[in-house]
Structure 1
Amino acid sequence: MIDVILKKGKEKAVLQRHPWVFSGAVENVKGKPANGDVVRLADAKGAFMAYGFYNDQSRVAVRLLEWDESAGINDDWFRARIVQAVKSRGHILADANTDTCRLIFSEADYLPGLIVDKYADYLSVQVLTSGIENVMPVIIDELQKQLNPKGIFDKSDTTSRAHEGLGESYGVLAGSPPPDLVQVKENGVLYDINIAEGQKSGFYCDQRDNRRILAGYVKDKTVLDCFCYTGGFSLNSLMQGAASVTSVDSSALAIETLTGNITLNKLDVAKHYAVKSDVNSQLRKFRDEGAKFDVIVLDPPKYAPSRSALDRASRAYKDLNRLAMLLLNDGGLLATYSCSGAMDMETFKQVLAWAALDAGKQVQFIYQFCQPEDHPVRSSFPEGEYLKGLLCRVW
């Protein structure tokens, strides 16, 4: 196994079991490993520190896997990680009211660059690192043994693969291709989702708990669900007795799927209004029309993909939340989220404070939302905590 030698003084993060070694921390490489090869990471004196995936094209030169020198990084090692990840979600898999969840969450499950989501009888996979790409035959085989899915579909059509020198990948990996619409159940709510053409892996199961919690506040209220996608917050609100729900998304496919999901759950279509529009433009239109709502949900895409984008993203979050605050009735509730890992909770609270000031509103934070347990956060990898939200009362 090829040795990658750290620069002197760069050992601290590795000793604390952070899984990333940046290229600037590498002194030299004793040999020529191929991208995705498992290498031995050593300190400046040559002493073993960890094993990890190597990639000379990535800013993260080594993604660490194992800190025990006696452990063999072989097929059995990867199979054991998959078994462990699936076992830890056993109680979710056994829930009769939910048949969708995240099975493998990259670094959090010690498989850096691997995302696996379960949608009823199908698995959707995203492969983001060259190391995982190299062991995919083993991963697919073990996933089949553990879950016996009807099919495994590759949704590795993300541009982030380019950072690892990988092209986009898309298509059936095993079994049958998913139908145009796969019906899943989450907290008793039914969804028809499009795995092949939907965003990310096909559905956002990271909001599972938050949808249920927020639905407890909406009975007899008027709700505005922005960036609604296929209707997670909209459907839960209607199920829990909202007076009306207005859903806004720029995607025609999302609006079409949401409309179908209203019918699928036998909900009152007269209480639902779907708007295909850019959210920021629509919020301004609502403002100009004098529209008001009791509850507003903001679940935008990732505005800050990196720390360098945080200032620009903060301005975007502030303007979005300011517009929403102007549309709330006095004492109304704003459920606002950020899926940007670079945006920590304290910064997010500060952004909302600025938005309130600009809107001339008073705001109370009454609940903090987070990602669910199938999106765990390793204590040594706080970067895995990406989803955060606040329930705000606004006057």
Structure 2
Amino acid sequence: MTNEITIQANPKSVKSFRKGFPLLQKEHLNTRMSDIEEGTIIKLTDHTHSFIARGYYGKQNKGLGWLLSWKETEAIDEAFIKRKIELAVNQRLHFFYNEDTTAFRVFNGEGDGFGGFTIDHFNGYYLIQWYSLGAYSFRDEVYRAVRDIKGWIGTYEKKRFAQDGQYVEDDDYVEGEKATFPLLVKENGIQFAVYLNDGAMVGVFLDQREVRKRIMHAYSEGKTVLNTFSYTGAFSVAAALGGASVTTSVDLAKRSLSKTIEQFSINGIDYESQNIIVEDVFNFFKYAVKKEHSYDLVILDPPSFARSKKHTFSAQKDYPSLMKDAISITSDGGVIVASTNCSTFDMKRFHEFIDRAFKEMGETYTILEQYSLPEDFKTMSQYKQGDYLKVAFIQKGK
């Protein structure tokens, strides 16, 4: 472990830190951090030099590091990390014994007591995602703890932080037995092909597990389904298995075609009976309106920020406009599954976006149900931004 330094908190931030707020940000501290080595243990004190909490320095897009312990005598060492990971695993034991779901989150950063990295389980293989060089400095201790989890086969990693202005690309296999790709995993009985060695995204977003289950069991039978920003078509597969009459998957990325075909195929679905379109979603909306197409179920799950040749999308600014596009091609009585992973606004604000879009379109609506992160994506009440997922099932009219 690295050395420990003492840093004084800005008096305005002391109260929130004492209540358990975990994220260190520039405006919270009375010390310049530029000369401090990432991974350095930080002892945070108030202006009277009284202990507040202990954490580490690690720059990522959210801030400068994370507080980990509010006990003055507790060290941030290998035993500490092992305890945190063991507790997280024990809280998720029922997932390990669920034969219908073999892909889930084992450790969710600050929600499980150590911000800066996550651990996902994929049928015996573990993927560790590192979000700062500071967090990565604890890699050996984390690897040893993961190796002790029952059923461990091998470990992969993704470095999601920048060095010298460039994201680290050499992320891949770490240790144990190498997986054969595609690695097939199950989620509520649905099969997904994942690739732990192929760039930042592996093939399925685990935080949408309960939403896909609901789409499959309650909203798809006999319906025409449009899945926008479809990535590898996971929502489309769930809808098809739920009895949808036809699914249409739209995504700008060229590789979405082959990836979606693969996901349909491993689930025994004839992909040629489905529509898979490589196109800018915004252009597709215009085309669908022009051709007077409508759908019974429209799935709207855009990235928080996206840029194409002709469009730039920011969920914070543009979600109401996107909702209006979806409303325009949703049949009367149809359902829009509106989703966002943007952490800069909460569910209340999301409801305001929905309300604004329907009012501007002169349409009525009913929110049938809503979802946030599933139980394996554990969050902490002191850090609301960590509960980033917002999903609403919205019926148009009726």
Question: If the length of structure 2 is used for normalisation, what is the TM-score?
Answer: 0.90
When residues 272 and 56 of structure 1 are mapped into structure 2, their CA distance, relative to the original with a 3 A threshold, is: closer
Q: Deviations over 1:278-330 (max 9, x none)?
A: 111112111111111111101111239xxxxxx95344212221111111111
When residues 66 and 336 of structure 1 are mapped into structure 2, their CA distance, relative to the original with a 3 A threshold, is: same
Which of 62, 72, 93 aligns to 2:96? It is 93
Confirm or deny: 8 A CA contact 1:5 1:29 kept in the other structure. no
Which residues of 2 match residues 287-302 of structure 1 at below 5 A?
Answer: 287-302=289-304
CA distance in structure 1 between the partners assigned to 2:282 and 2:62 by the alignment:
34
When residues 377 and 219 of structure 1 are mapped into structure 2, their CA distance, relative to the original with a 3 A threshold, is: same
Structure 1 residue 202: Cα displacement:
4.2
Confirm or deny: 8 A CA contact 1:2 1:30 kept in the other structure. no
Q: Which moved more, 1:181-190 or 1:241-250?
A: 241-250
Structure 1 residue 239: Cα displacement:
1.0
1:41 is paired with a residue of what secondary structure?
Answer: strand
1:11 is paired with a residue of what secondary structure?
Answer: helix
Confirm or deny: 8 A CA contact 1:223 1:242 kept in the other structure. yes
The amino acid of 1:100's aligned partner reads: A
User: What's the counterpart of residue 253 of structure 1?
Assistant: 255
Which residues of 2 match residues 182-193 of structure 1 at below 5 A?
Answer: 182-193=183-194
Q: Which moved more, 1:238-247 or 1:248-257?
A: 248-257
1:372 is paired with a residue of what secondary structure?
Answer: coil
2:13 is paired with a residue of what secondary structure?
Answer: coil
Q: Deviations over 1:101-138 (max 9, x none)?
A: 01111111111110111111322221112332111011
Confirm or deny: 8 A CA contact 2:66 2:114 kept in the other structure. no
Q: Which moved more, 1:183-192 or 1:16-25?
A: 16-25
When residues 288 and 31 of structure 1 are mapped into structure 2, their CA distance, relative to the original with a 3 A threshold, is: closer
Confirm or deny: 8 A CA contact 1:3 1:30 kept in the other structure. no
User: What's the counterpart of residue 118 of structure 2?
Assistant: 115
Confirm or deny: 8 A CA contact 1:2 1:29 kept in the other structure. no
Structure 1 residue 7: Cα displacement:
3.0
Superposed structure 1 runs of 4+ greater than 4 Å apart = 29-33, 55-59, 162-169
Q: Which moved more, 1:205-214 or 1:353-362?
A: 353-362
Q: Deviations over 1:365-384 (max 9, x none)?
A: 11112111111220111111
When residues 71 and 239 of structure 1 are mapped into structure 2, their CA distance, relative to the original with a 3 A threshold, is: same
Structure 1 residue 190: Cα displacement:
0.7
2:155 is paired with a residue of what secondary structure?
Answer: strand
User: What's the counterpart of residue 229 of structure 1?
Assistant: 231
CA distance in structure 2 between the partners assigned to 1:321 and 1:116 by the alignment:
33
When residues 72 and 263 of structure 1 are mapped into structure 2, their CA distance, relative to the original with a 3 A threshold, is: same
Confirm or deny: 8 A CA contact 1:36 1:129 kept in the other structure. no
User: What's the counterpart of residue 380 of structure 2?
Assistant: 378
1:139 is paired with a residue of what secondary structure?
Answer: helix
When residues 8 and 318 of structure 1 are mapped into structure 2, their CA distance, relative to the original with a 3 A threshold, is: closer
Q: Work out the percentage of aligned pairs sharing the same amino acid.
A: 24
Which residues of 2 match residues 1-395 of structure 1 at below 5 A?
Answer: 1-28=4-31, 33-55=36-58, 60-156=63-159, 158=160, 160-161=161-162, 167=168, 169-197=170-198, 199-215=200-216, 216-269=218-271, 271-303=273-305, 313-395=315-397
CA distance in structure 1 between the partners assigned to 2:199 and 2:242 by the alignment:
26
When residues 50 and 360 of structure 1 are mapped into structure 2, their CA distance, relative to the original with a 3 A threshold, is: same
The amino acid of 2:296's aligned partner reads: D
When residues 250 and 178 of structure 1 are mapped into structure 2, their CA distance, relative to the original with a 3 A threshold, is: farther
When residues 201 and 312 of structure 1 are mapped into structure 2, their CA distance, relative to the original with a 3 A threshold, is: closer
1:54 is paired with a residue of what secondary structure?
Answer: strand
User: What's the counterpart of residue 308 of structure 1?
Assistant: none
When residues 168 and 42 of structure 1 are mapped into structure 2, their CA distance, relative to the original with a 3 A threshold, is: farther
CA distance in structure 2 between the partners assigned to 1:198 and 1:29 by the alignment:
34
Confirm or deny: 8 A CA contact 2:220 2:239 kept in the other structure. yes
CA distance in structure 2 between the partners assigned to 1:252 and 1:8 by the alignment:
51
When residues 37 and 108 of structure 1 are mapped into structure 2, their CA distance, relative to the original with a 3 A threshold, is: same
When residues 233 and 113 of structure 1 are mapped into structure 2, their CA distance, relative to the original with a 3 A threshold, is: same
1:137 is paired with a residue of what secondary structure?
Answer: helix
CA distance in structure 2 between the partners assigned to 1:258 and 1:378 by the alignment:
35
Confirm or deny: 8 A CA contact 1:184 1:191 kept in the other structure. yes
Confirm or deny: 8 A CA contact 2:108 2:379 kept in the other structure. no
Confirm or deny: 8 A CA contact 2:341 2:389 kept in the other structure. yes
Q: Deviations over 1:315-372 (max 9, x none)?
A: 4212221111111111111011010011211111111222223333222111112111
Give the aligned CA root-mean-square deviation in angstroms: 2.5
Matched residues, number: 387
Structure 1 residue 166: Cα displacement:
7.9
When residues 236 and 336 of structure 1 are mapped into structure 2, their CA distance, relative to the original with a 3 A threshold, is: same
Question: If the length of structure 1 is used for normalisation, what is the TM-score?
Answer: 0.91
Confirm or deny: 8 A CA contact 2:53 2:67 kept in the other structure. yes
Structure 1 residue 206: Cα displacement:
0.4
Q: Deviations over 1:176-223 (max 9, x none)?
A: 443331111000011112222255354201000011112211111111
2:106 is paired with a residue of what secondary structure?
Answer: strand
The amino acid of 1:142's aligned partner reads: A
1:2 is paired with a residue of what secondary structure?
Answer: strand
When residues 246 and 19 of structure 1 are mapped into structure 2, their CA distance, relative to the original with a 3 A threshold, is: same
